[in-house]
Amino acid sequence: MEMPIAAHDIDYAENLLAEGELETAAVLLEELASEAGEYADTACIATDARQWFSFSSPFEYLAYRRVERDPRELSQVEAPFDRLYADLAYIYIQRHEYESARDALKQAVRWNPMNCAHRLNLAEVFRALGDTQEWAALSASVLDRATTPQALARAFANLGQYFLAGENLAAAEGCRRAAIRACDADAAATALAAQLDKGHPELGELSDEVVNKQLEEHGIGTGANAEIAVCLLMCATDAASEGDRNEATRLTLLARDLVGAPACEALIRLIHESDAELAHEREGAAAGQRAACAESDDDAATDAAPAVPAGSASSDSVDSKDGE
């Protein structure tokens, strides 16, 4: 089945949204979503061996592999389905149609599970619907996937509010500190900090060990996922080798902002060392293969050489004697 929509169709709808033409954009996006759904039901059927996505970059593909550890073959659809559903969700949110927005954002996350904006927006929709468990769960899922300090801070701030509502003050304080470390200019992080400072100033006296232990008991880390930084740096290395210095710089800066300069430098060294070891192993394997081929050629040459008939020397000797 031929893909019924293209990226430029979604670009056009997004231009309509930017111009404030919500109703016109809604008609177009709903039609595109219907066509995308029919196409997916026919041509993108998930199996135990294969799944379909609309990742926006090689980084997202690699990050999904490393974070989700999905062993299936990952196939890329030609159109950005996740953007289509996210745009549609935006319209539903403007209309306060939160159930429809929830369903659309679920599709956005399904097509691009590495896009943290989709996850955070879906979390807020669940919160608006009164489902704080899903709000917290989606916020926690961002911690393993965040590529920016802002997304990381927002996720920690959400979790801090969740723990505060549940009167787990030590965990809320741990989230506050993690959010501020990630991005001290984030509005959600600063709002949580101000709320805790005003209502529970005594929490500032707790040690990092105490508050971090509370987070660990809930399966929550205290910073960015190093795997994401590794993926960013690996893609930066690939971009540099292809001559795209701007992309290499952009990805490297993302990694630095996410985990900090010292950690970023350490990861770069590890990646370079790993690449050097891999190159050495490949060189050794190639040398071994060349040696094996050379030995095989020598054996073949030996087998192909004409054999001296048995007894030929004695026959010549007999002939010589007869001649005498």
Domain ranges of the chain: 7-114
d(CA 275, CA 240): 14
Q: Are 120 and 151 in contact (CB under 8 A)?
A: yes
Q: How many CA atoms lie within 13 A of 317 on its CB side?
A: 4
Of 289, 231, 257, nearest to 68 (Cα)?
231
The arithmetic mean of pLDDT across residues 176-199, rounded, is: 97
- Model-level pTM? 0.84
Take residue 97 and report the two structure tokens written for it. 């149609």
Confidence of residue 271 (pLDDT cuts 50, 70, 90): confident
The DSSP string of 41-67 is HHH----SSEEEE--SSHHHHHHHHHH
Asked if residue 122 has pLDDT above 50, the reply is yes
Take residue 104 and report the two structure tokens written for it. 């659309």
pLDDT digits 0-9 by tens, 101-113: 999 999 999 999 9
CA 118 from centre of chain: 14
Q: Are 267 and 230 in contact (CB under 8 A)?
A: yes
pLDDT digits 0-9 by tens, 34-90: 999 999 999 999 999 999 999 999 999 999 999 999 999 999 999 999 999 999 999
- Please enumerate in sequence order all residues whose Cβ is within 8 A of that of 221, keeping only pairs 6 or more positions apart, or say none: 143, 215
Helix, strand, coil content of the chain in percent (nearest 5) = 75, 0, 20
